[in-house]
Amino acid sequence: MSSLKEFLMMSEAAGDLDQYIIAAQEPFEDGLRTLVEIPSVSQHAVCKPDVRRCILSAEEYLQILMKGGTKVDTKSRLIGWDNGLPAVYWKCIRHRKWPTIILYNHLDVQPAEQKDGWDTEPFELVILDAPKVGRQYFGRGTTDDKGPALVGLLAIKFALLRGLPLNFVVVWESEEEDGSMHFPEILAQIKDDLQGLSSPSLLISDTIWPAVHVPSVSCGLRGVINFTFELTTAIDDRNRAKGVHSGLCGGVATNPIIRLSHVIAASVDEAGWVAVRGAHDGLAPLPAEALEAFAQTDAITLETFKRDFGLRSCFAGSVPDLLNRIWNLPTFEVTGIIGGVTEPAGAVKTEIPGYARAHVSCRLGPGQDPVQFEQALRKHVARIDSDMVIIRRGGVSRPFAMDPKGPYLQAAAEAFKTGFGYPEVVFDRCGGSIGAVIHFTELLPGLPVVLLGLSLPTHNYHGTNENFDWRQAAGGIRTFVHYFERVANMPTAQK
């Protein structure tokens, strides 16, 4: 058996979990190839048909899943199909009183082009059998988040075959990498359904371990808010930006790149600290327990962190400093800047540009309010350059933090131990942001959220040569199934 569709159709349990996982490898690779080879880049308008195609493929898998083994009434819906980017909503209610696990993933991906430095074509699944890692999968979306989505699908398949007393809901969206701007509209369409679920909890596999062999349950996410700074300093008679000769005007004309540099330099100091007045307002300090538990592991040192991400230098002076900076503190990062003439690389066009633009992405720590942060940033920039135009684009994600002592998070940690057999499991934070988490918890206050990520620092999240591997996928299926079993066995009081 090799195709994912055939595997999902299977109606007899394929032996025990170990045997099931062995049998699931080829189907997993078949499904991953199908999804990765659809360039579902949500930020590129031109990829919109691909994004829809990707969601349609995924819905087909879910429809097949109902046919094999599942004797209950299930429903699958495409949502948001007419407005913006679509999602698939699948519901499998087997008993109205059983606990319900809501599985969320996103099937859209970051932009990628081979010329960015990829060794392979980003939208072609390339499989390597590496000596140490084992079976590796290269391609955009393998680790973020198509691979983890298929891990969840295969775990649900096993749970259904085994008849675990659980209900399942799957929500796969396609706009996460573009800020999940329309996700509230998606949820509004399934609001009644979701509010009627019995003992719901949310399971998301879109976070990253601190190191290989150190599974982590994430207890927090930073928020995110993106800005574009624009400055036009010289215009022609039709009000369009124009450059001026650097000999004729050099020394008196406002140089928009220099002005942007002043604003940027005044926003982050030379030690990497955000220097915007009010930018830390509301921030909840990182709980000592989060750091203590983590400090007992050797999961991260400054050296492994730098090595895993390929950083030539790093602002942090110690591991606690590092964790505080990447998990909790607000950031101000310039993700792109453009102005003037830069090509060819030795360009000497002696012209002061009339326009420049910088793209800024800020993460916010738990307790912080994006609206307040935005006000503080706008005031700060206006103090330095009142001509600068600030545009906020895309979605805004609020930060989020949880108590690791909750039963679902503890269940997740235990499941990781059984699933992977590694010596330690840590409760960490994730410096990233997942917009959907906030939207789900707004709709269902108190909803337990479990961030059971499978990605590794070496998987190059958002970067070139993004990859995933079978060891993480297999361990992930096993972990998810163990987690399902624990949720199924939870005393109702804890739900």
Window 403-462: residues binding a copy of itself (CB under 8 A)? 430-433, 457, 460-462
- Under the binding rule (CB under 8 A), the answer on residue 233 touching a copy of itself is yes
Of 235-294, binders to a copy of itself (CB under 8 A) are 235-238, 240-255, 257-258, 260-262, 264-266, 268, 270, 272
Asked whether the beta carbons of 195 and 91 are under 8 A apart, the reply is no
# chain residues binding a copy of itself, by CB under 8 A: 105
Per DSSP, the three-state class of 221 is strand
Report the residue from 199, 228, 297, 410 that binds a copy of itself according to the rule CB under 8 A.
Answer: 228
Q: Which one, 70 or 361, has the nearer CB to a copy of itself?
A: 361
Report the residue from 31, 69, 220, 394 that binds a copy of itself according to the rule CB under 8 A.
Answer: 394
Asked whether the beta carbons of 250 and 352 are under 8 A apart, the reply is yes
Q: Which one, 273 or 422, has the nearer CB to a copy of itself?
A: 273
Q: Which one, 137 or 158, has the nearer CB to a copy of itself?
A: 137
Nearest alpha carbon to residue 337 among 316, 326, 315, 353: 353
Asked whether the beta carbons of 356 and 339 are under 8 A apart, the reply is yes
User: What is the rounded distance in angstroms from the CA atom of residue 413 to the CA atom of residue 80?
Assistant: 35
Q: How far is the CB of 175 from a copy of itself (least distance, A)?
A: 11
Q: Which one, 68 or 111, has the nearer CB to a copy of itself?
A: 111
E strand or H helix that includes residue 486: helix 470-488
Of 317-376, binders to a copy of itself (CB under 8 A) are 322, 325-326, 329, 331, 333-342, 344-354, 356-359, 361, 363
Of 94-133, binders to a copy of itself (CB under 8 A) are 110-111, 117, 119
- Over its C-alpha atoms, the chain yields an Rg (Å, rounded) of 24
Q: Which two tokens stand for residue 267?
A: 């926003």
Asked whether the beta carbons of 7 and 67 are under 8 A apart, the reply is no
User: What is the rounded distance in angstroms from the CA atom of residue 439 to the CA atom of residue 424?
Assistant: 32
Q: For a copy of itself, what does the binding mask look like between residues 30 and 59, x meaning CB under 8 A?
A: -------------xxx--------------
User: What is the rounded distance in angstroms from the CA atom of residue 413 to the CA atom of residue 479?
Assistant: 9
Rounded to a whole number, what is the distance in angstroms from the first to the last CA of the chain? 38
Q: How far is the CB of 185 from a copy of itself (least distance, A)?
A: 19
Asked whether the beta carbons of 193 and 440 are under 8 A apart, the reply is no
Of 160-219, binders to a copy of itself (CB under 8 A) are 178-179, 208
User: What is the rounded distance in angstroms from the CA atom of residue 254 to the CA atom of residue 273?
Assistant: 27
Report the residue from 226, 368, 467, 479 that binds a copy of itself according to the rule CB under 8 A.
Answer: 226
- Under the binding rule (CB under 8 A), the answer on residue 313 touching a copy of itself is yes
User: What is the rounded distance in angstroms from the CA atom of residue 454 to the CA atom of residue 462?
Assistant: 15
Q: How far is the CB of 461 from a copy of itself (least distance, A)?
A: 5
Beta-strand relationship, 223-232 and 355-364: antiparallel
Of 463-482, binders to a copy of itself (CB under 8 A) are 463-465
Q: How far is the CB of 420 from a copy of itself (least distance, A)?
A: 21
